């Protein structure tokens, strides 16, 4: 029997639920931690950023309008998809991060657990970040967290799956849509998670994954007026990106909080606004 040829996958962008090559037609080679060729990935352009933001804007209102329970269920479904492909994810994490197979599998498992943890927050975040306020009159007064809209995420450079889950899922839980700039040198797990999102009942456009040069894409995403929140965990120069985002009043999370319950709650809080409603007290 003859030796099999390698079947090498070219990883594409995830924009509006479709797996597309960059509008520019460019690609770049991704190397593993050992320096050996790992895969080809699309090298997104500023127009891909624009398209992704447009897709996210279109998808976000319907997602936010779902019941919190349903959002939690959909995110749990994403965890199911990740679990089913945990071996593939582990393999890619091992090759990208240069850790041994056991450590990579453990990292992926922690990431999936974290996804489940965030899914559970969907119908609880309102109680924790919102509340009933005492007012001097015959009214109920409630503060309710509402999503900011479209959140741009500069994914962590090193932690290609586990760290990504925190940055990607936290804004989704509260009803935002996300545009992720994947880790420049370790983009594969992010694209895989994007593929999974397409089979996990997340509507097209809610999760958009762009791969490419961060110094090219970061400023475009940060300055985009329709981006309402920015997670700069993986940015090499967060202050510069935050400055670009300032003119359109974008919410900015400068550095990723630790992957602890407190850190997770900080992430959930980063991309919600608070709206206050009044209601008369019944007789």
Partner 1 sequence: MVEIPSRSRVPQVGSEAQLRTVLAALSGVDAVGVTARAAKLATRSPKRETKARALDLAIAMVDLTTLEGADTPGHVAALCAKARRPDAEDATCPPVAAICVYPDLVATARAHLAGSPVRVASVATAFPAGRASLPVKLADVAEARAAGADEIDMVIDRGAFLSGRLGQVFEEIVAVKEACGSAHLKVILETGELVTYDNVRRASWLAMLAGADFIKTSTGKVAVSATPPVALVMLEAVRDFAESTGQVVGVKLAGGIRSAKEALRYLVLASETAGSAWLEPRTLRFGASSLLTDLLLQRRSQRTGVYARREHVSVE
* x-or-dash string of contact with partner 1, 234-253, rule CB under 8 A: -------------xx-----
Q: Judged by CB under 8 A, which of 223, 240, 242, 243 binds partner 1?
A: 223
Rounded to a whole number of angstroms, the minimum distance from the CB of residue 89 to partner 1 is 32
Helix 238-246 vs helix 214-223: angle between axes, to the nearest 10 degrees? 30
Rounded to a whole number of angstroms, the minimum distance from the CB of residue 20 to partner 1 is 17
| Contact between 49 and partner 1 per CB under 8 A | yes
Q: What is the DSSP secondary-structure string of 61-93?
A: HHHHHS-HHHHHHHHHHHHHHHHHTHHHHHHHH
Q: Judged by CB under 8 A, which of 82, 104, 220, 272 binds partner 1?
A: 220
- Shorter beta-carbon distance to partner 1: residue 40 or 57: 57
**What's the Rg (C-alpha) of the chain?**
19
Q: Judged by CB under 8 A, which of 21, 26, 50, 185 binds partner 1?
A: 50
Rounded (5°) CA angle 213-215-219: 120
Rounded to a whole number of angstroms, the minimum distance from the CB of residue 149 to partner 1 is 10
| CA 47/CA 244 separation, integer angstroms | 18
| Contact between 21 and partner 1 per CB under 8 A | no
Rounded to a whole number of angstroms, the minimum distance from the CB of residue 206 to partner 1 is 19
Name the helix (H) or strand (E) containing 51. Answer: helix 46-65
* Binding-site size, partner 1 (CB under 8 A): 11
Q: Beta strand pairing status for 229-231 and 251-253? A: parallel
CA 63 to chain centre: 14
**Residue ranges binding partner 1 (CB under 8 A):** 49-50, 53, 57, 220, 223-226, 247-248
């Amino acid at each position: 029997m003859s030796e099999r040829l390698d079947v090498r996958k070219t990883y594409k962008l995830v924009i509006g639920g479709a797996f597309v090559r960059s509008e520019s037609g460019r690609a770049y080679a991704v190397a593993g931690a050992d320096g050996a060729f790992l895969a080809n990935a699309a090298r997104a352009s500023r127009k891909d950023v624009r398209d992704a933001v447009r897709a996210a804007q279109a998808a976000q209102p319907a997602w936010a309008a779902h019941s919190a329970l349903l959002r939690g269920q959909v995110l749990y479904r994403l965890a199911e998809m990740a679990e089913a492909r945990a071996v593939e994810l582990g393999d890619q994490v091992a090759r990208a991060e240069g850790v041994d197979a056991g450590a990579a599998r453990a990292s992926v498992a922690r990431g999936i657990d974290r996804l489940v943890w965030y899914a559970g927050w969907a119908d609880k975040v309102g109680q924790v970040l919102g509340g009933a306020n005492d007012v001097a009159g015959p009214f109920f007064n409630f503060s309710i967290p509402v999503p900011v809209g479209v959140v741009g995420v500069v994914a962590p450079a090193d932690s290609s799956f586990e760290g990504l889950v925190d940055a990607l899922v936290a804004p989704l839980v509260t009803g935002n849509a996300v545009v992720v700039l994947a880790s420049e040198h370790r983009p594969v797990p992010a694209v895989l998670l994007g593929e999974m999102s397409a089979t996990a009942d997340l509507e097209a456009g809610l999760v958009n994954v762009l791969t490419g040069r961060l110094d090219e894409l970061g400023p475009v995403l940060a300055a985009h007026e329709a981006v309402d929140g920015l997670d700069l965990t993986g940015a090499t120069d967060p202050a510069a990106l935050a400055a670009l985002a300032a003119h359109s009043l974008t919410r900015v999370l400068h550095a990723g909080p630790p992957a602890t319950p407190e850190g997770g709650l900080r992430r959930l809080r980063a991309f919600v606004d608070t709206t206050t409603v009044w209601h008369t007290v019944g007789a």
